[in-house]
Amino acid sequence: MSKPPRKIIHCDCDCFYAAVEMLDDPSLSTQPLAVGGQPGARGVIATCNYVARRFGVRSAMASSHALRICPKLIILPPRFERYRSISRQIMAIYHDYTPLVEPLSLDEAYLDVSDTNFCQGSATLMAQEIRQRIATEVGITASAGIAPNKFVAKIASDWQKPNGQFTVAPHEIDEFVAALPVGKLFGVGKVTAAKLNTLGIETCGQLRDWSLTNLWREFGKFGERLYELCRGIDERPVCPDSVRKSLSVETTYTHDLPDLGSCQAALGELIQDLRQRQQKLNDPTPAHKAFVKLRFADFSQTTAECVDPYPGDATFRRLLTQGFERKQQPVRLLGVGIRFAEPDHSRVIQLSLFDEPPE
């Protein structure tokens, strides 16, 4: 006898950082508002309210560009301690319904409510109740997607934003996914989407016409993932415990670093910051790889990495030289980091949403 379909809720708050700022200062709710860095320091927008979005402001947009298209935009610096405080309230509400909560950010999480009896076992009713509690107890709005798997639930949560929810029942998955643009699939960025489009594939329905063999030939192992996702197949469980895969620090400079020498001079501070963060881990895991990331003045980006379980300054400097020589342009962003090997079960690191702001 086959197992009954899972009941997965993907829930996240609407423009979370901006929502908290409007909660604390209601006069901001009618004005275009963003949270992020200031334009003079090459800041970017972390999030913005829906008033600002009507002007075309979006997250990850340069703050200077956001102000050009929305001159009255108010940009506030992030207050992570306040956001963490609100996040604790939200996560506590999620955990009232199931222990199977997989946080994705301070306000966003997957919930597996398959074996939960609240609301007569209805995931749709649970999502409604969770959203109502967040509105009443916290004071901000949230949206939700409900589906038999994580992939479809996350897409569904965007369907009725803001302050809404959308349910995709098991028998509706095939039709729902078939109409999706391929750019909605996990792992499909601009480059892969463009490649798919050049092959005449714009929707998941069209992608289904390709055999698994042909997708392997064009995309390697990722072709198997494409084959599954375009059919709405996603067997990933909701995992309350997250394993740290990497640790990194980076800086966007107010003025471009003009040459390799200036990049090398700036590298030491980044390496020191990285080591301090690594020491804060409750169970420091040896590194597997070291990497250096560069974003050049033309916004192109490269990452140089190598296998090194104990990377020293010389390793990072060598990687910096390798990366810089690929373009030999002024550098606007520099980052260093380490990647961890796949851990065994005895070396799982529990990440806390409240230790550090997102990197």
Residues 92-129: pLDDT tens digits? 999 999 999 999 989 999 999 999 989 999 999 999 99
How many Å separate Cα 112 from the centre of its chain?
A: 20
Q: What is the DSSP string of 201-267?
A: --BHHHHTTS-HHHHHHHHTTHHHHHHHHTTT---PPP-SS----EEEEEEEEEEEE-SHHHHHHHH
Helix (H) or strand (E) holding 275: helix 260-280
Question: Which CATH code is given to the segment(s) 246-347?
Answer: 3.30.1490.100
Nearest to 154 by CA among 133, 180, 132: 180
Q: At what angle do helices 260-280 and 313-325 cross, to 10 degrees?
A: 130
Catalytic status, residue 108: yes
Whether 258 has a pLDDT exceeding 90, the answer reads yes
Q: Note the pLDDT of residue 3.
A: 78
Give residue 284's pLDDT.
55
CA-CA distances (angstroms) from residue 169 to 9, 17, 231, 232, 250? Answer: 12, 31, 14, 12, 42
Question: What is the distance between the terminal CA atoms of the chain, rounded to a whole angstrom?
Answer: 45
How much is the pLDDT for 191? 82
| Binding site, annotated residues | 12, 107
Average pLDDT, the chain: 89
Question: Residue 283: pLDDT band by 50, 70, 90 thresholds?
Answer: low
Q: Percent of the chain having pLDDT more than 70?
A: 92
What's the CATH architecture for 174-229?
A: Orthogonal Bundle (1.10)
* Options 3.40.1170.60, 3.40.50.1370, 3.40.190.10, 3.30.70.20; CATH of 16-79: 3.40.1170.60
Determine which of 225-234, 260-269, 343-352 has the lowest per-residue pLDDT on average.
343-352
**What does each C-alpha distance from 53 to 50, 273, 355 come to in angstroms?**
5, 35, 30
Distances (CA, A) of 40 to 180, 215, 255, 335, 357: 39, 45, 10, 20, 22
User: Is residue 159 exposed (0-12), middle (13-18) or buried (19+ Cβ within 10 Å)?
Assistant: middle
* pLDDT given for residue 358 in this prediction: 36
Q: Coil, strand, or helix at residue 34?
A: strand
Least confident of 20-34, 160-174, 177-191: 177-191
Distance CA 60, CA 252 (A): 13
74 sits in which H/E element: strand 74-76
**Alpha carbons 170 and 226: distance in angstroms, whole number:** 20
As annotated, the binding site for Mg(2+) includes 12, 107
- Over the stretch 200-241, which tens digit does the pLDDT of each residue have? 999 999 999 999 999 999 888 889 999 999 999 999 999 887
* Residue 182 pLDDT: 94
Place of tokens 């979005």: 53
**Euclidean distance between CA atoms 59 and 337, whole angstroms:** 24
Where are the chain's structural domains? Answer: 8-14+81-170, 16-79, 174-229, 246-347
Q: Which of 21, 102, 108, 305 is catalytic?
A: 108
Q: What was the pLDDT predicted at 354?
A: 41
Amino acid, res. 104 = L
> What pLDDT was estimated at residue 343?
52
Is residue 287 predicted with pLDDT exceeding 60? Answer: yes
Domain 8-14+81-170, CATH homologous superfamily name and number: Reverse transcriptase/Diguanylate cyclase domain (3.30.70.270)
